[in-house]
């Protein structure tokens, strides 16, 4: 992982202490760098890589909140502090529905946790800080550009995600800090949008309110203590009001059913679907992981029905290495 001193956010986009009603430098000290190593034979290695780097935010003594894809199947996790120290961590838990991940530090961080706020109170136009590891020079003074539904191609849906502009260039696991100095979200993605005829990048942020109902389960069990949603191992996108398959996960139910890239999902259990969100909601309404999922599929002029036996995707993942 590159040292956090090797790059900086352009000065025009860095937050200035005088613009905020809280101790900016103190708040940003709670954001740490995160570096994880994943075995080459891990299920997620093919799509996410075997070495992942980003950020995390200290929310309790020794407990770091990040975005889950950074630590999925990690055999080693390292936390990089602003003073140059590197502390080993343990991938404690991951919530597939929200995307949050938790890391337990295995040494003393000697940092103050960042207070958790409420994302529901955030408003479009609010001034916020997208905090990266390393303080002001690795953070972005931003604004909330939108709060709206987000559907991800990997069978992921948020009823209301937060979008910020300008975007952070090292967005994974960044801390979205409100204008009162509280943590209101964790950075997940960088996306492109059209505005006034020009393309610009925004960050998609997972709202912190999704953490509160699951935090105790993640801390105790490493996952949310309820039946898992059915998973098909199908990457999809929405094109002209059609759900189009753009990829198939190796060894997943869709691969076993021999579905292919380019297939169009017309219906789930006989109910037409024309968008990713309707596809996911209908899929998840059928029951927990393991339920049979009847699909109507169109491929190269042929429409056919196929039934997939869904699974719990966590069963395909390597468990975190115990320390």
- The mean pLDDT value for 291-317 works out to 96
Distance CA 150, CA 157 (A): 6
Percent of the chain with pLDDT over 70: 97
Distance CA 56, CA 216 (A): 18
Residue 178 has a pLDDT of 98
Residue 195 has a pLDDT of 84
Contact predicate 323/77, CB 8 Å: no
Residue 18 has a pLDDT of 96
Question: CA 196: distance to chain centroid?
Answer: 28
Average confidence score pLDDT of the chain: 95
- The mean pLDDT value for 146-168 works out to 98
Percent of the chain with pLDDT over 90: 93
Tens of pLDDT along 7-65? 899 999 999 999 999 999 999 999 999 999 999 999 999 999 999 999 999 999 999 99
Give the max Cα distance, the chain: 63
Domains of the chain plus CATH, in order, are: 1-226 (2.40.10.120), 234-316 (2.30.42.10)
Structure-block tokens of residue 66: 């990040």
Beta bridge partners of 235: 247
Q: What are phi and psi of 158, to 5 degrees?
A: -115, 130
Ranges assigned E (strand) in the chain: 31-37, 51-60, 63-67, 76-80, 86-94, 100-105, 127-131, 140-152, 156-165, 175-177, 183-195, 198-207, 234-239, 242-248, 264-268, 271-272, 292-299, 302-309
Strand bridging mode 51-60 / 292-299: unpaired
Among the listed ranges 118-122, 289-293, 319-323, which one has the minimum average pLDDT value?
319-323
Distance CA 294, CA 306 (A): 6
Distance CA 47, CA 249 (A): 9
- pLDDT grade, residue 165 (50/70/90)? very high
Tens of pLDDT along 89-102? 999 999 999 999 99
Residue count (the chain):
323
- The mean pLDDT value for 200-220 works out to 97
pLDDT at 105 over 60: yes
Residue 213 has a pLDDT of 97
Residue 205 has a pLDDT of 98
- pLDDT grade, residue 227 (50/70/90)? very high
pLDDT at 322 over 70: no
Helix (H, G, I), strand (E, B), or coil: what is residue 174?
Answer: coil
pLDDT at 243 over 50: yes
What's the Cα-to-Cα distance from 130 to each of 27, 85, 149, rounded to whole Å? 11, 22, 20
- pLDDT grade, residue 1 (50/70/90)? very low
pLDDT at 166 over 80: yes
- pLDDT grade, residue 196 (50/70/90)? confident
Residue 319 has a pLDDT of 80
Distance CA 16, CA 169 (A): 18
Residue 2 has a pLDDT of 41
Cβ count near 205 (within 10 Å): 31
């Amino acid at each position: 992982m590159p040292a956090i001193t090797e790059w900086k956010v352009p000065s025009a986009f860095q937050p200035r202490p005088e613009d905020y009603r809280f101790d900016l430098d103190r708040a940003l000290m709670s954001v740490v760098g995160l570096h994880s190593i994943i075995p080459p034979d891990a299920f997620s290695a093919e799509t996410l890589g075997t070495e992942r780097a980003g950020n995390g935010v200290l929310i309790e003594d020794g407990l770091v909140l990040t975005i889950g894809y950074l630590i999925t199947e990690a055999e080693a996790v390292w936390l990089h502090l602003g003073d140059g120290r590197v502390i080993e961590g343990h991938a404690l838990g991951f919530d597939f529905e929200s995307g949050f991940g938790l890391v337990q530090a295995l040494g003393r961080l000697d940092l103050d946790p960042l207070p958790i706020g409420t994302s529901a109170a955030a408003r479009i136009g609010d001034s916020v800080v997208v905090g990266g590891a390393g303080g002001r020079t690795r953070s972005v003074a931003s604004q909330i550009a939108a709060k709206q539904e987000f559907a991800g191609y990997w069978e992921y849906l948020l009823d209301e995600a937060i979008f910020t502009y300008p975007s952070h260039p090292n967005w994974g696991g960044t801390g979205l800090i409100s204008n009162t100095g509280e943590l209101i979200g964790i950075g997940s993605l960088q996306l492109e949008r059209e505005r006034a005829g020009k393309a610009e990048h925004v960050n998609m942020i997972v709202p912190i309110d999704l953490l509160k109902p699951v935090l105790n389960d993640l801390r105790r069990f490493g996952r949310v203590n309820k039946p898992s949603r059915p998973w098909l191992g199908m990457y999809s996108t929405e094109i002209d009001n059609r759900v189009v398959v753009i990829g198939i996960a190796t060894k997943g139910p869709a691969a076993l059913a021999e579905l292919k890239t380019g297939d169009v999902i017309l219906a789930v259990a006989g109910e037409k679907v024309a968008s990713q969100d309707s596809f996911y909601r209908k899929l998840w309404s059928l029951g927990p992981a393991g339920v049979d999922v009847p699909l109507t599929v169109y491929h190269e002029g042929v429409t056919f029905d196929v039934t997939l036996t869904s699974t719990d995707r966590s069963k395909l993942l390597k468990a975190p290495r115990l320390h």
